[in-house]
Structure formats: C-alpha cells, structure tokens
Structure 1
C-alpha cells in the first residue's frame, strides 16, 4: 500500500466498493478526495473528439488515483473507471494534506510514487512518439511493469487486452496483434494462454 489504510482511516477515510464499469470520478470534476485502490483495478481514460478511448493508466492494489490533484486546484483531466470489482479508500483532500504534514514518511512515499510515475510517463510519451509500433508497446509495458517488485523477464502478466493496448499506444488493434507476435518471436515477451508476460 502506498499509504497505510489505518492511517488513511484515521484521517476520515471512507471505504467504498465499485462494480466493474462503475465511474469513480469524471473528467472535469473538481477533486475533493485523495483516492487509493485497496483491491481491484481502475483505468484512467479520456475520450477523444472522434469518440476513441485513450487509456492513460491502469492502477491496481495499493496505488493512488490521480494523487497529483490533491496538491493543486485543477479539475480531473481523465475519468476513473473500475475495470474489475474494486474497493477504494478516499480521504477528504484537506484531511489528506494534513496527513502529509503530520506524517513525514507517508509524505515521502507519496512524493516518490509521484516522481516515479512522472518519470515513466515521460518515457512512455517519448516511446508513443515513435513511428515503430514495437517501441510504443515495449515502452508502455515497461511503464506498467515499473510498478511491480519483480522485474525479472516475463514476470509481469499484462492485465490489458489487445484492444486496451491499442488504446494506450494509439495504434490500431491489428497492428498491436502483429507487433506482439513479432515481439514474442524476438523473445521480448511471452504469450501463454493468450496472456502477455513481459
């Protein structure tokens, strides 16, 4: 867990459950809470003007959701949607900021998480600018794997469909399918029972 659940509860944290496809918050809303996933998965997405989904991130157990907006007064630039049944703890923004002031180690953990996410986002953006599909896909896989403890080859089971990979990288689904097969033949990733391991 990024921030200890009991600590979040002691600062007026509320635990909520969401079903698959439930909206946690929507683009344009004013953030009133700090959100952290206890169990389940959440996607951050944006719908483009031509009605295509652009997935910005997939968050799992223990990760925070748009924590940057706890520190600034801006509206959400993305939607947060449950992609599995999930449990989330949310803490009122003012209480979360007080928690950060009161607990130095928790504040350092959040700062480090934000810094690592931003670093890997920059790398992913650079990769997404590539004209080569395999560079885009590998960059995105490295980004998601960066949040796991086990960095050994093929240890990360990619929790995304080929369609979601296409949404994240801006590629067509057919291109993703071809590229993933080529990456498997080059031993960059493995496919077992239609699941990608990176």
Structure 2
C-alpha cells in the first residue's frame, strides 16, 4: 500500500522471516507498522482446544496489525509467516509522521480498514448462523469479488489450502474437503488438478 521509497524515507527497515516465524503474539504492545514485501503472513488465534482461527492473510504490498497500533491497544492475535517472507517495519512514531505528511495515504488506510471491518462482520454472521457450504461459498466469493476483483466472466483460482479455508470459516478441515466435493457435484465449484475454481 505504501511505496517502498516512502517507507524507507520515513525510517522503515526490512526484515527477512522464515516460514513459521512469529512476528508478534497476543498481548504484546505494538511498536511498528508492518507491510509485506514478499511472501505471506497470517494473523490468527487459537482456542482452548488448540484449534486455529485465521483472522486474515496478507501478501505483497499489504499491511497488517494496524488497529492496535492506531488505538494503542495490545495485539488480539498472533502474526506469523506462512511462507519465507520479507516485511518492512516502520517505528510507530515514524508511521504517524508518514500519515500526517501524506493525507492521501491516510485515506487509503481508512478505506482498507473499512474493507477489513466489512469482511469480519460478514464472516461473523456466516460463522454464527450458516451451514458449511454457505460459509465456504461466501468466503470464496469475498476473495474473488473484493480481494482479487476477478471479472465476472472469469473463474477464480482459489489459492487457499483446505486447511486455510477451514481456519478462516471456523470449520474442520474434513468438513471443508467433504463440502467442496459436494459443491463440485452441485456445479458451484470446479476442481482441476486438485485446485478449486469458483
């Protein structure tokens, strides 16, 4: 979202991460603005039984963890690298200087946060009241229409694993696998070489 040059001008630095490496944990105090340069980052929580729930996934150019940083609260989720990744870290004070000096970027953040709030509201409603098939379709349509903006005349190749779909929808991975097969039979999805298309 923020250009590399602008981040560097305001004091950002790049950090290389190995797959599985933790960036921050639940309860830690935010000190940096984070933006992904390459790879993939997830924010997640675990329940008492150890079941993971993914709050969001972020790749090249996307930022993560801003709400606690902006309102001076502790992180409500963990962040870790899903793949070998590189991220920019910009100290909190410098991030605020960047926002004050660049109102157009400030507006972009407001819009981005509104999209995330919309997604969380959508998924909270789905998880609390809908069956597995409906949850999966709603999630895939959100990624197709809102995240990747795939034209309506094209198929969206789902880049989420079955486990990630489970973690994003609050379902068990076995339920996701079975439901995807049922959705294929109903013509809602296509599976080619183990890849799902919507």
Give the aligned length. Answer: 197
Following superposition of structure 1 onto structure 2, how do residues 78-93 of structure 1 map, counting pairs within 5 Å? 78-93=77-92
CA distance in 2 between partners of 1:164 and 1:150 (Å): 20
Aligned counterpart, 1:147: 147
Does residue 1:164 correspond to 2:164, yes or no? yes
CA RMSD of aligned residues (A): 1.6
CA distance in 2 between partners of 1:165 and 1:85 (Å): 21
TM-score, with structure 2 as normaliser: 0.92
- Deviation at 1:154? 5.6
Aligned counterpart, 1:57: 56
- Deviation at 1:151? 4.1
Q: Do the aligned partners of 1:34 and 1:92 also contact (CA within 8 Å) in 2?
A: yes
CA distance in 1 between partners of 2:154 and 2:182 (Å): 16
Following superposition of structure 1 onto structure 2, how do residues 103-122 of structure 1 map, counting pairs within 5 Å? 103-122=102-121
Aligned counterpart, 1:197: 197
Deviations 1:41-60 (A, max 9, x none): 11111111111111111111
- Deviation at 1:83? 0.7
Q: Do the aligned partners of 1:154 and 1:189 also contact (CA within 8 Å) in 2?
A: no
Aligned counterpart, 2:3: 4
- Deviation at 1:86? 0.9
CA distance in 1 between partners of 2:84 and 2:164 (Å): 18
- Deviation at 1:82? 0.6
CA distance in 2 between partners of 1:193 and 1:58 (Å): 24
TM-score, with structure 1 as normaliser: 0.92
CA distance in 2 between partners of 1:183 and 1:18 (Å): 37
Between stretches 171-180 and 110-119, larger displacement belongs to: 171-180
CA distance in 1 between partners of 2:46 and 2:77 (Å): 9
Aligned counterpart, 1:138: 137
CA distance in 1 between partners of 2:80 and 2:190 (Å): 28
Structure 2 gap ranges (5+): none
Structure 1 gap ranges (5+): none
CA distance in 2 between partners of 1:83 and 1:153 (Å): 31
Q: Do the aligned partners of 1:32 and 1:92 also contact (CA within 8 Å) in 2?
A: yes
CA distance in 2 between partners of 1:159 and 1:177 (Å): 15
Seen in structure 2, the aligned counterparts of structure 1 residues 56 and 129 have a Cα distance that, compared at 3 Å, is: same
CA distance in 1 between partners of 2:59 and 2:187 (Å): 26
